[in-house]
């Protein structure tokens, strides 16, 4: 007698169920993604703060599940944006030296391109982000640092200026130069459009 094989529901189907307050679907999404978010949070904030960060991220998933639109991207991309925003906001409170060091660490991680790494998988949730990361690795460290803070940490240019103790004009110039180089690397601007939305404030 043949064995029946049942396909697991996709993240997008589970997210739709979470929007109706389905605890079982929520638990499945947590089991699939919590470890990856924990790795990212621990990398940026430290192991002691990672558990709380994961709880806060998934609390937001529960509260905002109705806002997820599968026509605009995958659940993994949507979740990664929530995680980056929360972890970035927490990182901004760590002090200037820690923020700068962590941004450089993330930039170096992207440059190394270790595909098996959970941290890289968290910050690179879709193909165009991987392409952007390849170009980021070629930028001068000053330009890469502000773009990492803007996209992967969700900081505005004013927040970058405060975190790095730099004049706002200097930050804007570095962002502009970095974005120009990113755009030159692509035939169109679609791959960098989502990055521009975050940093051009």
Distance CA 23, CA 182 (A): 42
Q: How many CA atoms lie within 13 A of 63 on its CB side?
A: 7
Q: Can you tell me whether residue 187 is helix, strand or coil?
A: coil
Q: How far is it, in rounded angstroms, from Cα 166 to Cα 143?
A: 13
* pLDDT computed for residue 197 by the predictor: 37
Q: Indicate the angle between helix axes 75-91 and 11-18, nearest 10 degrees.
A: 70
What residue spans of the chain are helical by DSSP H?
A: 11-18, 23-45, 47-64, 75-91, 96-112, 118-123, 127-136, 141-151, 157-164, 168-184, 190-199
Q: Which helix (H) or strand (E) holds 9?
A: none
Q: Which residues of 90-121 are buried (b: 16+ CB within 10 A; e: fewer)?
A: bbbebeeebbeebbeebbebbeeeeeeeebbb
Q: What is the pTM of this model?
A: 0.62
Domains and CATH numbers, the chain: 9-65+73-91 (1.10.1740.10), 95-201 (1.10.10.10)
- Provide the pLDDT for residue 200: 46
C-alpha–C-alpha distance, residues 182 and 191, integer Å: 9
Maximal C-alpha separation, the chain: 72
* Measured CA angle at 142 (ends 139, 143), to 5 deg: 50
Distance CA 62, CA 47 (A): 24
Quick one: pLDDT at residue 114? Answer: 47
pLDDT digits (tens, 9 = 90+) for 159-176: 888 888 889 999 999 988
Summarised one tens digit per residue, pLDDT across range 9-31 is 999 999 999 999 999 999 999 99
For residue 106 the two structure tokens come to 């993330």
Task: Say if residue 134's pLDDT is above 80.
Answer: no
């Amino acid at each position: 007698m043949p064995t029946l094989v049942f396909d697991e529901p996709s993240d997008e189907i589970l997210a739709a169920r979470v929007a109706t307050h389905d605890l079982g679907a929520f638990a499945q999404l947590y089991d699939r993604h919590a470890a990856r978010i924990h790795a990212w949070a621990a990398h940026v904030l430290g192991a002691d703060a990672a558990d709380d960060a994961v709880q806060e991220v998934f609390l937001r998933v529960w509260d905002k599940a109705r806002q997820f639109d599968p026509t605009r991207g995958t659940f993994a991309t949507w979740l990664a944006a929530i995680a980056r925003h929360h972890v970035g906001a927490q990182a901004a409170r760590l002090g200037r030296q820690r923020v700068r060091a962590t941004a450089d660490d993330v930039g170096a991680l992207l440059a190394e391109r270790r595909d098996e790494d959970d941290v890289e998988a968290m910050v690179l949730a879709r193909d165009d982000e991987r392409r952007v990361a390849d170009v980021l690795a070629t930028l001068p460290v000053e330009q890469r640092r502000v773009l990492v803070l803007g996209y992967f940490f969700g900081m505005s240019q004013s927040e970058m200026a405060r975190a790095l103790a730099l004049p706002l004009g200097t930050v804007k110039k570095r962002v502009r130069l970095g974005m120009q180089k990113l755009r030159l690397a692509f035939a169109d601007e679609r791959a960098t459009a989502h990055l521009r939305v975050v940093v051009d404030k």
